Amino acid sequence: MSLGFYVDLASCIGCKTCQVACKDRRDIQVAGPRLRRVDTFECGTYPEVAMFHLNISCNHCESPACVANCPTGAMYKDDDGTAQHDDEACIGCQTCVNSCPYGAPQFIEEDKIVQKCDTCRALREAGYLILTLGTAWVYQLRETGEIVCNCHKRPSGEFLRRRLSVDEVVGGFVPLLEGPLKDKPVIWTVSPVRHLGDGLPENALSKSTLIVAIHRLIERYPQCCYFPAFEIMTDDLRDYRFYEKDMAHPSEVAVDYIWEQFCCAALDPSCTGVFRKIDALNRALAHRPLNPENPAYRAFRHQKAAEVRALQQAYPDLDFSRELNFFES
């Protein structure tokens, strides 16, 4: 069996939700590369004109040219049939970029390596999956009745905005929980971010719908459990001081508090020390010196690189390649 993505181009409306989701999962900047891309094309002549959308990423070819031409073996064919990329073996020569006729491998200038679609390998191999639901309000394409992401390139009159019922939310996840997620533990949460644009009563209705739906799923599927992030924010903290200025998003103090509660409920106590070290690395990554060539700053980066290598050796399942590339560059 060979894995890959199936895209029904006849149903694609060009909303680019998949493109945004890919960037979000890979932590790619908005202006950065598009490992999954949706391009829109116009054809025909007036008045017989038409528009179509092409949704493409790596095709995970049976005999990929990128794998055949890679001089270091960084591009390789996995046992599941997908074409994968080893960041550590990549020398940034861009041979794969020039070999692929679909433009799938893309060079990351900041890291001096190539990245490509990995068929969401981390999600497929994850021991646990955390699913956070934000709102029960959706957009429905009037023409077909399908639930879609609102596409701002299309007239708003083509969409109907409505709130899903509890049964609809439950029904939307049943195929996942009885299919790809059948044997994978799932931790459910409801986002504590308030959707004030909906109105306070409508926001409360939306969140309540999601909470009831999640608990129905938990009753049916033993691999599911619930972490009360929403309830901690609204019932435990419940004070304006724990919100940002927009009164919708939790403040940094609130986020840290909810994270602490999650750690206590779901993680082994031995993880705490690792998190502290990773937090310190993230703060070091965010530091921007006035003079990058200052000997003291170069010594600082050298020290942090040594700490990263020690962490990578102690926890080989964690990926510190981005941090190591930064401190060693």
Ramachandran assignment for 229, one of left (phi > 0), alpha (psi -120 to 50 degrees), beta (any other): alpha
Q: Where in the chain is the domain with CATH 3.30.70.20?
A: 17-118
Q: Which residues of 177-187 are buried (b: 16+ CB within 10 A; e: fewer)?
A: beeebeebebb
Q: Are 75 and 67 in contact (CB under 8 A)?
A: yes
CA pair distance 78, 232, nearest whole angstrom? 43
Q: Could you give phi then psi for residue 177, rounded to 5 degrees?
A: -75, -20
Residue 87, SS3 per DSSP: helix
For residue 158, the model assigns a pLDDT of 87
Element (H, E) at 260: helix 252-266
pTM of the model: 0.72
Per-residue pLDDT of the chain (329 residues; tens, 9 = 90+): 577 788 888 888 888 888 988 888 888 877 778 899 999 999 888 888 888 899 989 999 989 999 999 999 999 999 888 999 998 899 999 999 999 999 999 998 888 889 899 988 888 888 899 999 999 999 898 888 888 876 666 788 888 999 999 999 999 999 999 988 888 999 999 999 999 888 899 999 999 999 999 999 999 999 999 999 999 999 999 888 999 999 999 999 999 999 999 998 988 888 888 888 888 888 888 888 888 888 888 899 899 999 999 999 988 888 888 888 888 87
Question: What's the half-sphere exposure (Cβ side, CA atoms, 13 Å) at 76?
Answer: 11
Residue 56, SS3 per DSSP: strand
Instruction: Please list the alpha-helical segments (H only) found in 161-251.
Output: 166-177, 200-220, 229-231
For residue 1, the model assigns a pLDDT of 59
| Joined tokens for residue 10 | 């006849």
CATH number of this structure's domain 17-118 = 3.30.70.20
Sign, CA dihedral 160-164-169-170, equals negative
For residue 123, the model assigns a pLDDT of 81
Element (H, E) at 44: strand 37-45
